[in-house]
Amino acid sequence: QVQVVESGGGSVQSGGSLRLSCAVSGGVYKRYIMGWFRQAPGKEREGVAVIDTDTSKTYADSVKGRFTVSQDNAKMTLYLQMNSLKPEDTAMYYCAAADPHGVAPWSLLSSDDYKYWGQGTQVTVSS
């Protein structure tokens, strides 16, 4: 059974940085589409950044130039480096995995097709 565990959240001031990690176990990591999603109170969950099985990366417009998604296949770990954080980045951040070809290329940032989810890690950015 695939397990996904996030870590690295916390509280920072506006302009600060955080790095989130996502450890995957119980599966063949390199075969998954891996992504970061977030959900703020009272808002719908939204896609933040995704790495496809061909290592191509997709970012939400709101984080382009500030966030960087990367992976370490040997460690079966996904990362999200978040720089220049803003108060509107405050949310619960989730890591998720989808089966290869399980997500259409035009909907990589949509959470509907991701099969495996972590419990989330809170990120709070104060002004």
18-38 mean pLDDT: 91
Q: What is the pLDDT of residues 46-70, one digit of tens each?
A: 999 999 999 999 999 999 999 999 9
Which of 73, 74, 57, 71 lies closest to 109 in space, CA to CA?
A: 57
Whether pLDDT at 75 is above 80: yes
Output the average pLDDT for the chain. 94
Contact between 116 and 23 under an 8 Å Cβ cutoff? The reply is no
Contact between 16 and 86 under an 8 Å Cβ cutoff? The reply is no
Q: What is the pLDDT of residues 77-119, one digit of tens each?
A: 999 999 999 999 999 999 999 988 888 888 999 988 899 999 9
71-74 CB contacts, 8 Å cutoff, 24+ apart: 71/34, 73/29, 73/30
Which letter does DSSP use for residue 8 in this model?
Answer: -
3-state percent breakdown (helix, strand, coil) of the chain, nearest 5: 10, 50, 45
Contact between 120 and 93 under an 8 Å Cβ cutoff? The reply is yes
Whether pLDDT at 30 is above 80: no
